[in-house]
Amino acid sequence: MIIPRNILEPVIKWSGSKRLVAPELCRYISNQKRYIEPFIGGGSMLPFRQIPKAVASDIIPELVRLWNQIKTNPEQVADEYKNRWDRLQSDGHGVFYEVRDSFNKTKNEFDFLFLTRTCVNGLIRYNNNGEFNNSMHKNRPGINPKSFKEIILKWSYFIKDVEFRECDYRETLADANKNDFVFLDPPYGGTKDRYTKTEFVLEQFYCELERLNSVGAKWILTFDGVAGSREYDYQLPKEIFLHKTEIKTGNSPFTKIMKTTVDAVYESVYFNFKPTAELRTDVNQYVSQELVFV
Ligand SMILES: C[S@@+](CC[C@H](N)C(=O)[O-])C[C@H]1O[C@@H](n2cnc3c(N)ncnc32)[C@H](O)[C@@H]1O
């Protein structure tokens, strides 16, 4: 089966996802032996990565458990979603809050998936005690289980060679070398992790990039950016990278929620190598390429 790239729906919806630009960015992934992605979130780049052997990690345990379930038990993932979704249709909104309470006690990865699919704007949001606190999206019932099963099975195929790890990005990158290609999509500088409450420290991150340069690993980094008139520019030190460009990654979720004028978000893309072609910066003009799914 051939799937046009632009209709591969996300399996895990994630705020800050690189879904719109993944087909474009992947053109710059060179032919290394291993692909590493240490901030995996919703994993939008994974189906496009062109390097089968891969390591992907994140600091959120239930997210990593969910990725592993999608990889090894896709049928069960689909069934678990269907069970909860059917109950929601027959018994009403209370089911969402039951699942949420249960998730906050157990951090069950199937509850997590169901919540991400039925909460307001799909925003994964936690309070200071680390409890999921977003509400149910009243007018949207969540994706139909039959359609969702197809999406889960496709993704399971695309991630079959990926090793998922739950750890800090520095641990994932510890053994990176000249045979590796690293794709980096970190949180904004200064943001605190929802679980460990550890801050994402830019200076430590820059050191890690320098270390990757010194061992000869190739990397692409999407970072900071601009939303409307607001700038998030952390000015990556010039000596760390070789090339920089901007790419439109979508619209700001915050201005969308607040129903003010929707701001376009541009993200900076840094390379530690010279890409052979310029990035096409308007994703809507891309010619649809295809992914082969057998
Ligand atoms: C911008 S999101 C990645 C989005 C992803 N590229 C996508 O397309 O969906 C950043 C991710 O980094 C993770 N993260 C934050 N701090 C981390 C750390 N110290 N080590 C590993 N992962 C971390 C977050 O949990 C989040 O999933």
DSSP characters for 17-84?
--TTTHHHHGGG----SEEEESS-TT-TTGGG---SSEEEEES-HHHHHHHHHHHH-HHHHHHHHHHH
Ligand 1 nearest-atom number relative to CA 168 = 20
pLDDT bucket at 266, cuts 50 / 70 / 90: confident
Q: Whose CA is nearest to atom 13 of ligand 1?
A: 39
Assign domain 2-59+167-292 one CATH number from 3.40.50.300, 3.40.50.2300, 3.40.50.150, 3.90.1150.10: 3.40.50.150
More confident residue, 30 or 253: 30
68 C-alpha to ligand 1 centroid (Å): 16
pLDDT bucket at 33, cuts 50 / 70 / 90: very high
Phi, psi of 213 (to 5 degrees): -60, -40
* pLDDT of 288 over the 60 cut: no
Averaged pLDDT for residues 216-241: 77
Return the minimum-mean-pLDDT range out of 1-15, 68-82, 95-109, 267-281.
Answer: 1-15
- Cα 218 to chain centroid distance, Å, stands at 20
For the chain, residues classed under CATH 3.40.50.150 are: 2-59+167-292
pLDDT bucket at 139, cuts 50 / 70 / 90: confident
pTM, two decimals, is 0.89
CB of 42 within 6 A of ligand 1: the answer is yes
pLDDT at 286 (0 to 100): 47
CB of 10 within 6 A of ligand 1: the answer is no
Q: Are 34 and 182 in contact (CB under 8 A)?
A: no
Averaged pLDDT for residues 198-212: 91
Ligand 1 nearest-atom number relative to CA 183 = 6
Taking alpha carbons only, the member of 164, 161, 167, 114 closest to residue 141 is 114
Sign of CA dihedral 207, 20, 282, 262: negative
Residues 6+ apart with CB under 8 A from 264: 227, 228, 248, 250, 251, 252
102 C-alpha to ligand 1 centroid (Å): 24
CB of 193 within 6 A of ligand 1: the answer is yes
pLDDT at 287 (0 to 100): 42
* CATH assignment, 72-150: 1.10.1020.10
For the chain, residues classed under CATH 1.10.1020.10 are: 72-150
pLDDT bucket at 24, cuts 50 / 70 / 90: confident
CB of 131 within 6 A of ligand 1: the answer is no
